[in-house]
Every structure is written in structure tokens, then in C-alpha cells.
């Protein structure tokens, strides 16, 4: 019975991911640069304020993105910009994060 449940879950996941791929515009799938063109850099003031006042450190990329995704003051395009520029790692301060995302 366990194998049947596991197989069903795997099938549902596969179908769900395939459906998600169909929803993403073809231009975005074919050209990742097209997707990042829609990304918009948030103002330095807004980004710095959030990272200094509302984020605790040390913080991993996953933790920073999770905090960012929960914010209403950042648009989806600004969140995409941040995610595109933040590499894996653990960051000890807001200045470390800003230094890394501004490099790219």
C-alpha cells in the first residue's frame, strides 16, 4: 500500500510540474535573460532599510528570500531582481548582502 501511495504522489508531482511548465511563457523558458529583464531594482533606500531594520543575521539565502517574499512593500519585479542577484551563502550583515547583490 505504501508503494501505491508513494507512486501516486510522485505521479501528481510530475504532472503538477509539467503543468507549471506549460503556464510559464515560452519566451521565459527559452531565454532566462528575458525573465530577468522584467526584474526591477528596488531603491537603495528601501532595500537597505529592510535589510538593516527587519532582517536578522546571520541569514542564509533561503532565509533572506523567504523574508523578502513575505513583504508587500516590494513588488514582484523587485523580489525577482533580488533573487536573481543573491547567490547561495550565509550573510553576516546587511552590508554583506548589499555588496553581493550590487556586484552583478
Domain housing 50: 39-103
Q: 50 with 27, same domain? A: no
d(CA 81, CA 79): 5
Mean pLDDT of the chain: 76
70 and 90 both lie in a single domain: yes
Do residues 32 and 44 share a domain?
A: no
pLDDT digits (tens, 9 = 90+) for 61-99: 999 999 888 888 899 999 999 999 999 999 999 999 999
Please state, for a pLDDT cut of 70, what percent of the chain lies above it.
63
- Which region among 5-9, 26-30, 34-38, 94-98 has the lowest average model confidence (pLDDT)? 26-30
- Please tell me whether residues 71 and 46 are part of one structural domain: yes
**Domain check: are 57 and 87 in the same one?**
yes
pTM over 0.75: no
Q: For the chain, what is the domain count?
A: 2
Pair (32, 43) in one structural domain: no
Mark whether 75 and 88 lie in a shared domain: yes
User: Up-side HSE of residue 11: CA atoms within 13 Å toward CB?
Assistant: 6
Estimate to the nearest angstrom the gap between the alpha carbon of 17 and the chain centroid.
18
Amino acid at each position: 500500500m505504501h508503494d501505491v501511495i508513494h507512486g501516486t504522489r510522485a505521479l501528481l508531482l510530475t504532472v503538477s510540474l509539467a503543468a507549471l511548465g506549460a503556464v510559464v511563457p515560452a519566451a521565459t523558458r527559452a531565454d532566462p535573460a528575458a525573465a530577468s529583464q522584467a526584474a526591477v531594482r528596488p531603491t537603495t533606500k528601501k532595500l537597505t532599510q529592510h535589510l538593516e531594520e527587519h532582517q536578522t543575521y546571520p541569514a542564509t539565502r533561503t532565509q533572506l528570500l523567504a523574508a523578502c517574499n513575505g513583504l508587500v512593500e516590494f513588488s514582484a519585479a523587485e523580489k525577482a531582481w533580488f533573487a536573481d542577484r543573491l547567490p547561495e551563502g550565509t550573510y553576516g550583515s546587511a552590508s554583506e548582502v548589499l555588496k553581493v547583490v550590487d556586484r552583478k
